[in-house]
Copies of this chain bind each other. A is one copy, B any other.
């Protein structure tokens, strides 16, 4: 059985072997740069593990796993331009290290390079793999656009938010598992269950991020508490509070959101009080628990021996336990 750690190790070795033209240097150097910045490599690991779960062999899924990871890093590269972010994984972003034009164009190239890797899959399901990848890539763009739209909207609902994170975050995790299952020659029903499993896990994962921003142990999170609150980010916590709040509290929340002055710590404390008044930590944990439960059910329904599901179970448990 292929463990998560082993899968990551394989991916990191394969990333080092990515072979691009030397020129134009400004087109390809940023691709190597972002791929070498590191990261959890969760998505490509899931491609390999899903494939191995059904076929007992992950090798044929390596190009597709790389394709998924290259695509993921492409989205980060272009998102960083759009968010005007100067750091990614503690290193300068591409548009900071080079410039915006280099970042736009090398991102465009990365998207094509991702597809070329996907295309190298030697399996009769290749066209389904390509279709899944393209469909997912477009959904990730949709999620990013909704996310940018929501920044400027005052009346985002919890439902709209869950749809957005479903597109922006969960789809690619779901597609990673689906692509792995396709290359593992799983049957249609199991492929669908793997996709659902990934989608539920992805939603739980993003809600955990929202939760941990406020309720993690600061030293364990490795970053400051309440960054989302300070940035007025429309997280599940904020939107659920606004859904439940009475008129007076809603007015107070909107006043905090409108304040331009740097009252960051006061604001974090005020919002935390609101969250607790409306039992938001409870609702959020309940929601996360529900998504993990759904994911577990999806996994149970898949028609392979229990033993072969163990690595996927471990991933769910690992994610459930995370506190950073």
Residues of A within 8 A of B (CB): 21, 23-24, 26-27, 78, 81-82, 101-102, 104-105, 107-109, 111-113, 115-116, 119, 126-127, 130-131, 134-135, 137-138, 141-142, 144-146, 148-149
Contacts and interface: CB of A to CB of B under 8 A. Distances in A.
B148 A101 contact: yes
A48 to B, nearest CB: 23
A109 B134 CA distance: 10
Contacts of A135: 116
A24 B105 contact: no
Contact of A27 (B23, B137, B141): B141
Given A101-B148, A111-B108, A21 B142 contact: yes
Lowest 3 A-B CB distances belong to which pairs?
A: A24-B145, A27-B145, A82-B101
Interface of A is mostly: helix
B119 A131 contact: yes
Contact of A104 (B27, B78, B131, B142): B78
Contacts of A149: 24, 26
10 contacts: A78-B104, A78-B108, A82-B105, A102-B145, A105-B144, A108-B108, A112-B138, A115-B115, A115-B134, A119-B127
Contacts of A130: 119, 130
Contacts of A112: 111, 134, 137-138, 141
A307 to B, nearest CB: 36
Nearest to A115: B134
Given A111-B111, A115-B134, A104 B126 contact: no
A85 to B, nearest CB: 13
B141 A108 contact: yes
Contacts of A141: 27, 105, 108-109, 112
A146 B127 CA distance: 33
Contacts of A148: 26, 101, 105
